[in-house]
Structure 1
Amino acid sequence: MTSIFRTVMGADFDRLHPALRRRFSVGLTSGEACTGHGVMDRLWHGGAFVKPFLALGATRNILVPRQGRHVPFTIENVPYTDGFGRETVTFVRTFHLPGRPRRFDAQMVLGPRGDHIVDYLGTHQHLACDLHFGAEPDGSLLIRSDRHRFRQGPVDVRVPEAVNGTAEVRESYDERSGRFRIRVDVTHHRLGPLFGYEGSFTAVYSDVRTHGVRPDLRPVREEPRA
């Protein structure tokens, strides 16, 4: 077995910078979890029309309805086996904003054909999208999202194009500073930029077999459909 990220990327995984290869090797096979601590130079969102959607999403730890500069940041990537027997890796991002920290939660599992990652968003996994991973010529990682789906009970529908956003994540490693750099942009095909952040962080690794996964990193509800 190997990490879910190496599985979807295949030979492309070996083109990543070695620091990125280790970071995205976290999983049950490696037995490692990764925690990043850093600063987001910029946390932003689009115009006033975006705020109601961000505020609604924030009730389930989806997106962040705040803006800021030089925001302390933590990302926790911890592998575990979910209630349906699937290897899952947490992507829990905490923005330590003045007054109240804000979280953006996601859990990632391998798609049924092994060619993409399914990204479950929020505390209740009501939103899901497919993620596609690729290595750039400079060894950085590019992740692009597909259309979102809403799932609750028997309901399984694609989010209407009118309100659907597309995410693009670029992550690289700066050897001079010894830091990972990340940029996230969520855009709408007509309305333009919706939400994003960019900054840098350092990473530390821990033995997940010893420490396990904290209960607050797992979702309240798990979605069985991949």
Structure 2
Amino acid sequence: MSSIFQRALGADFGRLHPRLRERFGFCAADRVGCVGTGVMDDIWHGSAVVVPFLHLGTARHILFPEQGSGIPFTIENYAYRDGHGRETVTFVRTFEMRPDLRRRFDATMVYSPRQYTIIDFLGTHQHLAVALTLGADRRGGLWIRTGEQRYGRRRFPAALSGRAEVHEWWDDAEGCFRIDVTVTNRFVGPVFGYRGRFTTQYVDTGTAPVPAAVRPLRENAHG
């Protein structure tokens, strides 16, 4: 079976750098997980207007208000079948903001045959469902941009929605993945973002099952 990224990207999947094809090319049947560790060179947020909303996001592991540089970072990508039988990939990002403060940004992604793209469920309870647009750049990097957002079955208000752009690529010179994430809002401008680098290790989920800690607490059937 193809990975959800192969299905969403189609022919563009073959344009990705080989290291990105490896990283985004596995599915639940492969019984593999990809765990990345590295450093975020910069984590930032926008004006004071957005800070209260970022504080609200911490309860469900969706964004957070802290800023910093040189932040230790982990990203956990595991493929599995969820309770609705959907091919699912976790994107659980952990930021060690300081010794006594750890922040998480959780997401689980599934492929939607109806929309021919990936739906990104944000947070611990999958309250927010976001349609993604994906593409490959000229050097084999991956672009991900967010589109329509829904809260349950309802469209999320544009005034409260954030538009995210994610760019991930392989740095041949440094031998690591690079990532740059920016979230903006049409009314208040920049909201949140981070950029940094990481390397990966692959784990066998046939012998070490997908950790319960990376799965959502509730699954949304209405992607």
**Shorter-chain TM-score range:** over 0.9
- 1:185-224 matches, within 5 Å, as 185-224=182-221
Contact map agreement 1:8 1:114 (CA 8 A) in 2: no
In the TM superposition, 1:129-168 aligns within 5 A as: 129-151=130-152, 156-168=153-165
Query: Which residue of 2 is the match for residue 13 of structure 1?
Result: 13
Which portions of structure 1, spanning 4 or more consecutive aligned residues, are displaced by more than 4 angstroms? none
SS of the residue 1:96 aligns to: strand
Alpha-carbon distance in structure 1 between the residues aligned to 2:54 and 2:170 = 30
Q: Which secondary structure state, in structure 2, belongs to the residue aligned with residue 198 of structure 1?
A: strand
Structure 1 unaligned residues grouped into runs of 5+: none
TM-score, normalising length: structure 1: 0.96
Please name the residue that 1:124 is paired with. 125
Who is 1:105 aligned against?
A: 106
Q: Measure the CA separation in 2 of the matches of 1:113 and 1:138.
A: 30
Q: Deviations over 1:97-152 (max 9, x none)?
A: 1121000000000113362101000001111101111001111110000121111x
RMSD over aligned Cα atoms: 1.0
Name the CA distance, whole Å, in 2 between partners of 1:60 and 1:203.
26
Q: What pairs with 1:18-167 in structure 2 (closer than 5 Å)?
A: 18-98=18-98, 99-113=100-114, 115-151=116-152, 156-167=153-164
Q: What runs of 5+ residues in structure 2 fail to find an aligned partner?
A: none
Comparing 105-114 with 212-221, greater Cα deviation is found at: 105-114
Secondary structure of the equivalent of 1:74?
strand
Contact 2:2–2:26 under 8 Å retained in 1: no
Q: 1:24-73: CA deviations, max 9, x gaps?
A: 01321332210000000000111111111111111000012110101000
Alignment match, 2:166: 169
SS at match of 2:101: coil
Opposite residue 58 of structure 2, the aligned amino acid is A
Match of 2:179 in 1: 182
Say how many residue pairs are matched. 222
Question: How many angstroms apart in 1 are the aligned matches of 2:58 and 2:149?
Answer: 17
CA, structure 1 residues 77+33, in 2 after alignment: closer, same or farther (shift >3 Å)? same
Give the 3-state SS of the residue equivalent to 1:201 in structure 2: strand
Quickly say closer, same or farther: Cα 1:8–1:169, change in 2 above 3 A.
same
**Identical-pair percentage:** 53
CA displacement, residues 161-183 of structure 1 (integer Å, 9 cap, x when unaligned): 11111000000001111100000
Q: CA deviation at 1:190?
A: 2.6
Cα separation, 2, equivalents of 1:177 and 1:217: 29
Partner residue, 2:2: 2
